[in-house]
Amino acid sequence: MPKLTIDGKTMEVPKGATVIQAARAAGIEIPHYCWHPGLSVAGNCRICLVEVEGMPTLQIACNLLCADNMVVRTQSEKAKGGRADVMELLLINHPLDCPICDQAGECKLQEYSFRIGKDRSSFDFPKVHKPKHVRFSDKVMFDAERCILCTRCVRFCAEVAKRDELDIVNRGDRNEIAVKRGGELENDYQMNVIDVCPVGALTSMDFRFKSRVWFLENAKSVCSGCSRGCNVTVGSRWNRVLRVIPRENPHVNQWWMCDAGRFTYKGNDADTRLGAPMIRKNGALAECSWDEALDAAAKGLRDAGADLLALVSGRLTNEEMWLAKDVLAHLGTPHRDVKPRAFAKDDFLRTGDGNPNSRGAALLGIAPGTGGSGLTSLGSRAFRGAALFGEDLDDRPEALEALSKCGFVLVVGSHETETSRRAAHVVLPGVTPFEKDGTYVNVSGRVQRLARSVIAPGEAWPDWKILGALRARLTGAPAPRTPADAFAEMCAASPAFSGLPWNGLGEHGADARTPEPAGAAR
Amino acid sequence: MAYVKVKRRKLTFAERTYVAPIAKGMVTTLKHMLQLGGTERVTMEYPEQKWKLPDRYRGAPVLVKDAAGREKCVSCSMCEYVCPPRAISIIPGEIDGPVEKAPKVFDIDMLRCIFCGYCEEVCPEEAIFMSEEYELCGQTRAEMVFPKDKLYAMGEKFGRDGRTKDPVKKYDRLVSEAAAQGLDLTK
């Protein structure tokens, strides 16, 4: 365990740690471009220069192993001067087209130039020009002029995505990044190169020129694409979600997320969004007030009673599942199920389970009860009523056919679907995971907070509010006023969540209480 | 408070005929008509006659194009960010060529604008200027939200007397520099 001093702070670090890691752990920031905590050390940008006592020249902190009795100075005149010179060299051929560049506002080059750089260049010659809009794929755009050749993207593809697709071509000041053999980026995690790029060389085709980043309202949330539950930052403006980018969580996704997860926001402001509750009158759905719709829904549920089939979506939050389960317990029906949803599977982040909260459903017991039937029995058995909480059967035509023959069908959902059009007697407009607060349990049992980033259209209610109101009508139990109320109620009653604090879940979540069942997929 | 009854002075006969006061008034009128000493005209025949504006007058903000007729604005949204009353709203768009970006929508709500000139101050491309235009009127609120075309038309009128300063040829330089290095940026 080497013991060293950085800027007067003495610390003991594990053997093999580098100076930049030690400084970071101690809260001392050393500027860096090519170094990334999740990637190997390249040591090519030279911006992390520090002065080390007893060494004749400045050293790069990212590739310097900590040694006993080492004395490091990050803020000495010599170190600062060295970094300012490196900044100037990095900017020699940089186009400085910040007004056009999408990275502006979250660009390390801007930040360090402002903080540690010089205010002018001593380089008098024309800059080297390189191609400005090279499509690496239909998701990633490359600008060779802005690139500082830190090779983070090259290393990401080779080390994390395990597809060695990028490389540096040409020589000297004509160096640029290129896709190997002139192809396109193909790996399913390629958009992470946009996030690791410290400058504006790699930008998103999807987010391209949509908004400047400083206008975005950022919500720290969880991806609803699959049961991994990658931590994300959702950027929105004009009450529209504009991008989803990964957020660091060492317990779940480290720094990464898959490309499919970034596009989960598509359709959030589709024309098919439901904005008002509806009741079927004379064969056609007609808009009505919430009271009217809730009364009709409660009556329909009560009439169906123990012969009600309930589909609870694996996209609902724990609180909503808990409220749904409470409603079903009161009706006395054992027929409850979660519709499985397929998703791509690989040995990195994607789990193959498209329900973000299937683990929560398992912990809360959303599965056919004793003597109960599930989704597969629809068609072979007639039910008096059916309730679809956040779910649809558009992808299962036979089940939908059987559903439309039920005496009463309640559909709670965010979008208009074939199911709501054909089968529903009462439609209650819910919201998408971008429009509500709540918690999800990921595949490895981590309880994580979902945060609202935009406001739902029209008169749509968050599903927890709908379920709370339904429960109040059926049982007289008070409706929770906030998702935190529902969470507290759930934690008090359900051993898997006992004692978990709503506000104490923090940015990284907390593990659910029950030990993981043997053989569960990680 | 009790009221006080004011006693009016009784007018004399000469006063009651009103001849002398009218004559006195006519003299003043005549003096102005004939522009005699101490009576120079202070009113202006607006709108036929316009006010001569001070050099640094800040009228409506307008957009200008460069000498080659290209939009200078690259929709960096700095003006939108700095605008104190949030009068400016921009939706950026992609264009062909080396500049890549230009505003798809650029609206200034002239009812909100407070003519502070921050937009002109902050613009990194010298694309927005405070013009001499102060006649801003309309029948509806919507009419007072000036779209991009209108702002460019106003800029055209305003730019004629050389007030938009230098004809920026930044991107011509970029393209010719790149061409000298064997790279065609115009594609």
Q: What is the mean pLDDT of residues B22-30?
A: 91
Separation in Å, CA A338 to CA A373, A404, A486, B106: 12, 19, 20, 48
Could you read off the pLDDT of A81-115 as tens digits, one per residue?
999 999 999 999 999 889 999 999 999 999 999 99
At B183 the pLDDT is 86
* Domain end among A90, A124, A147: A90
Residue B15 pLDDT > 90:
no
Together in a domain, B23 and B88: no
Separation in Å, CA A477 to CA A364, A467, A474, A481, A488: 19, 12, 8, 12, 15
Among the partner residues A126, A131, A209, nearest to B101 by beta-carbon distance: A209
- Per DSSP bridges, beta strands A408-413 and A426-429 are parallel
Contact A209 B75 (CB under 8 A): yes
A112, part of any domain? no
Could you read off the pLDDT of A221-241 as tens digits, one per residue?
999 999 999 999 999 999 999
At A485 the pLDDT is 94
**How far apart are the CA of A12 and the nearest CA of chain B, in angstroms?**
46
**Residue B118: partners with Cβ closer than 8 Å, 6 or more residues away:** B79, B82, B83, B84
Chain A residue with the nearest C-alpha to that of B77: A212
Could you read off the pLDDT of A44-87 as tens digits, one per residue?
999 999 999 999 999 999 999 999 999 999 999 999 999 999 99
Assess contact for A430 and A460: CB atoms under 8 A.
yes
Could you read off the pLDDT of A330-379 as tens digits, one per residue?
999 999 999 999 999 999 999 999 999 999 999 998 888 888 888 888 87
pLDDT band at A475 (very low <50, low <70, confident <90, very high): very high
Question: Tokens 């597969």 correspond to what residue?
Answer: A376
pLDDT band at A248 (very low <50, low <70, confident <90, very high): very high
Angle separating helix axes A483-493 and A463-475, nearest 10 degrees:
60
Together in a domain, B121 and B80: yes
Among the partner residues B81, B100, B178, nearest to A100 by beta-carbon distance: B100
Give the C-alpha separation, B116 to A75, whole Å. 41
At A1 the pLDDT is 85
**How far apart are the CA of B183 and the nearest CA of chain A, in angstroms?**
7
Residues of A in contact with B186 (CB under 8 A): none
A187, part of any domain? no
Together in a domain, B16 and B79: no
A411, part of any domain? yes
Query: Domain containing A62: what range?
Result: 3-90
Contact A132 B124 (CB under 8 A): no
Residues of B in contact with A126 (CB under 8 A): 177, 180-181
A373, part of any domain? yes
User: What total of structural domains would you count in chain B?
Assistant: 2
Q: Percent of chain B beyond pLDDT 70?
A: 91
Helices within A52-125 (DSSP H only) = 77-90, 108-116
Site from B168, B183, B184, B186 to mutate, A interface, most A CB atoms within 10 angstroms: B183
End-to-end CA distance of chain B: 88
- A with B: how many residue pairs have Cβ under 8 Å apart? 48
Contact B100 A98 (CB under 8 A): no
Among the partner residues A100, A129, A210, nearest to B177 by beta-carbon distance: A129
B93, part of any domain? yes
- Single out the residue of B121, B130, B124, B117 nearest to residue B73, CA to CA: B124
Q: Peptide bond before B47: cis, by omega within 30 degrees of 0?
A: yes
pLDDT band at A519 (very low <50, low <70, confident <90, very high): very low
Site from A98, A145, A212, A237 to mutate, B interface, most B CB atoms within 10 angstroms: A212
Burial of A36 (0-12, 13-18, 19+ CB in 10 A): buried
B51, part of any domain? no
Contact A129 B185 (CB under 8 A): yes
Q: What was the ipTM of the complex prediction?
A: 0.83
A273, part of any domain? no
For residue B40 the two structure tokens come to 């120079």
Helices within A411-506 (DSSP H only) = 418-422, 463-475, 483-493
Contact B100 A132 (CB under 8 A): yes
Q: What is the mean pLDDT of residues B114-136?
A: 92
Q: What is the mean pLDDT of residues A484-511?
A: 91
Give the C-alpha separation, A116 to A109, whole Å. 10
pLDDT band at A515 (very low <50, low <70, confident <90, very high): low
pLDDT band at B12 (very low <50, low <70, confident <90, very high): confident
A435, part of any domain? yes
Chain A residue with the nearest C-alpha to that of B101: A100
Could you read off the pLDDT of A251-265 as tens digits, one per residue?
999 999 999 999 999
B180, part of any domain? no
For residue A333 the two structure tokens come to 């029906």
Looking up residue B116, the CATH number of its domain turns out to be 3.30.70.3270
A132 CB near a chain B CB, below 8 Å?
yes
Residues of A in contact with B180 (CB under 8 A): 126
Contact A211 B92 (CB under 8 A): yes
Q: What is the mean pLDDT of residues A197-207?
A: 95
Q: Which of residues 70-99 of B touch A (CB under 8 A)?
A: 74-78, 80-81, 92-94, 98-99
For residue B94 the two structure tokens come to 């992609």
A238 CB near a chain B CB, below 8 Å?
no
Please give the residue that has the higher pLDDT: either B175 or A272.
Answer: A272
Could you read off the pLDDT of A382-439 as tens digits, one per residue?
889 999 999 999 999 889 999 988 889 999 999 999 999 999 999 999 999 999 999 9
A400, part of any domain? yes
Separation in Å, CA A449 to CA A43, A319, A441, A444, A503: 37, 11, 9, 15, 9
Contact A131 B183 (CB under 8 A): yes
B55, part of any domain? no
Contact A100 B81 (CB under 8 A): no
A405 CB near a chain B CB, below 8 Å?
no
Separation in Å, CA B161 to CA A393, B49, B51, B127, B169: 68, 19, 17, 16, 19
Contact B178 A129 (CB under 8 A): yes
In the chain, the amino acid numbered A380 is S
B180 CB near a chain A CB, below 8 Å?
yes
Q: Which of residues 86-105 of A touch B (CB under 8 A)?
A: 98-100, 104
B182 CB near a chain A CB, below 8 Å?
no
User: What total of structural domains would you count in chain A?
Assistant: 2
Residues of B in contact with A135 (CB under 8 A): none
A74, part of any domain? yes
Together in a domain, B98 and B157: yes
pLDDT band at B41 (very low <50, low <70, confident <90, very high): confident
Site from B74, B90, B128, B176 to mutate, A interface, most A CB atoms within 10 angstroms: B74
Average pLDDT of chain A, as a whole number: 92
B185, part of any domain? no
At A216 the pLDDT is 96
A123 CB near a chain B CB, below 8 Å?
no
pTM: 0.87
At A439 the pLDDT is 95
pLDDT band at A521 (very low <50, low <70, confident <90, very high): very low
Q: What is the mean pLDDT of residues B126-151?
A: 93
Chain A residue with the nearest C-alpha to that of B100: A100
- Single out the residue of A271, A357, A349, A274 nearest to residue A313, CA to CA: A357
* Domain end among A90, A112, A130: A90
B181 CB near a chain A CB, below 8 Å?
yes
**How far apart are the CA of B122 and the nearest CA of chain A, in angstroms?**
11
Together in a domain, B146 and B115: yes
Contact B81 A214 (CB under 8 A): yes
Residue A522 pLDDT > 60:
no
At A520 the pLDDT is 46
A212 CB near a chain B CB, below 8 Å?
yes
Q: Which of residues 8-37 of B touch A (CB under 8 A)?
A: none
Query: Domain containing B80: what range?
Result: 61-170
Q: How many residues does chain B have?
A: 187
Contact A212 B81 (CB under 8 A): yes
B175, part of any domain? no
Site from B181, B184, B187 to mutate, A interface, most A CB atoms within 10 angstroms: B181
Q: Average the pLDDT over each of A40-49, A196-205, B64-73 and give the range with the smallest value.
A: B64-73
* Domain end among A90, A119, A139: A90
B181, part of any domain? no
